Amino acid sequence: MEYMRFFRDTIMARQSCRKFLNKEIGIEEMVEVNRVYDNLERLVPEIKTDIKFTGAEAGKKFGDSVGYNGFSIEAPQYIILMSEVKDFYLENAGYLAQAMTLKLTDLGIAACWLTVNDSDRVKEAADLDSKLEVACVIGIGYRDKDTKEKRLDIVSPSNVTMTKTELQAAPKISLDSLLFDKIYGKAFNKEELYTELEDSLLAVSHAQSFFNRQPYRVIVGDSEIYLVGVPDEMTGENDRHLNYGIAMFNFVAVLGSLRAEAPKWSFDTPTVNLGLPDGVCYVAKCRI
């Protein structure tokens, strides 16, 4: 299994892009991205997936079938990841697509995840004859460095922070806000974290999500961590589950690069009481 082994050079450097140069990505780079797709161990291996790369012409036909907060994003190329619709298919797709996104970052190529509003229209625009569902669409290309982008951190429709992007992305959520100790709501003492685990959890705190909303938290147990979903009025259901998969990949990518045996996430029911309140749902667990 291929991991992104350079935490600070990939996960910390990865930032969304909404303004691309009119320049296509080279064949060699696309082969590298496709190799990640071919070789990565899935969260749910039995779910059938397919990937297609399409150009700007298809993107012009997308209309409002995909978008970023209701706006279309023009890119020279797009990744379209399709999947069977089964339990955890969106988490699986988010996990897989994040691996490809970080490989793009490693290659100096930018990306922007787009919300899928209409799978059939995306397939029609891209001339795809497939019974699989479009799980995610990612605009990719070289960043227009002359355009100074700003990051939106949206607490609510009336509480929006706009921050000029830097060379390294800031954490989307602090570990103090992200982590709980054994049960939901109990503050976690970060001094108890050993370096490997802290770096891996920091990777989760840097994970991109819809409008940087981070619709999840992590409960740290004695031998496992538990990813739980939290209510968020602005994040749609599909984006929520994709965001879970993105966070899950970031964690494994870092911890797996530091250990001889890579950790694996499981969707099995936890054997301990996590004390989850109404509205908070269990997602998955991973041995640490």
DSSP, residue by residue, 4-67? ---TTTTTTT--B-S-B-S-PPPHHHHHHHHHHHHHPPPSSTTS-EEEEEEEHHHHHH-GGGEE
Q: Are residues 231 and 145 in the same domain?
A: no
Backbone angles phi, psi at 229, to 5 degrees: -90, 140
Q: What is the pLDDT of residues 211-258, one digit of tens each?
A: 888 999 999 999 999 999 999 988 999 999 999 999 999 999 999 888
pTM of the model: 0.89
Residue 10 and residue 40: Cα distance in Å, rounded?
17
What pLDDT does 161 receive? 47
What pLDDT does 14 receive? 79
Q: Please give the structure tokens belonging to residue 172.
A: 């989307």
Of 41, 120, 40, residue with least CA distance to 80 = 120
Residue 226 and residue 30: Cα distance in Å, rounded?
34
Q: Are residues 115 and 188 in the same domain?
A: no
Q: Are residues 181 and 275 in the same domain?
A: yes
Residue 283 identity (one-letter amino acid) = V
Other C-beta atoms within 10 Å of 204: how many? Answer: 27
CATH number of the domain where residue 123 is located:
3.40.109.10
Q: Are residues 130 and 64 in the same domain?
A: yes
In a domain, 162, yes or no: no
CATH number of the domain where residue 274 is located:
3.40.109.30
Q: What is the pLDDT of residues 93-116, one digit of tens each?
A: 999 999 999 999 999 999 999 999
Lowest mean pLDDT among 132-136, 175-179, 257-261: 257-261
The count of structural domains within the chain is 2
Q: Residue 184 belongs to what domain range?
A: 175-287
Q: Are residues 145 and 196 in the same domain?
A: no
What pLDDT does 97 receive? 97
Q: Please give the structure tokens belonging to residue 211.
A: 């409008």
Q: Are residues 118 and 181 in the same domain?
A: no
Cα 4 to chain center, whole Å?
14
In a domain, 161, yes or no: no
Say which residues have a Cβ less than 8 Å from residue 1's Cβ, sequence separation at least 6.
39, 40, 41, 256, 262
What pLDDT does 87 receive? 98
- pLDDT confidence tier of residue 5, bands split at 50, 70 and 90: low
Other C-beta atoms within 10 Å of 121: how many? Answer: 17
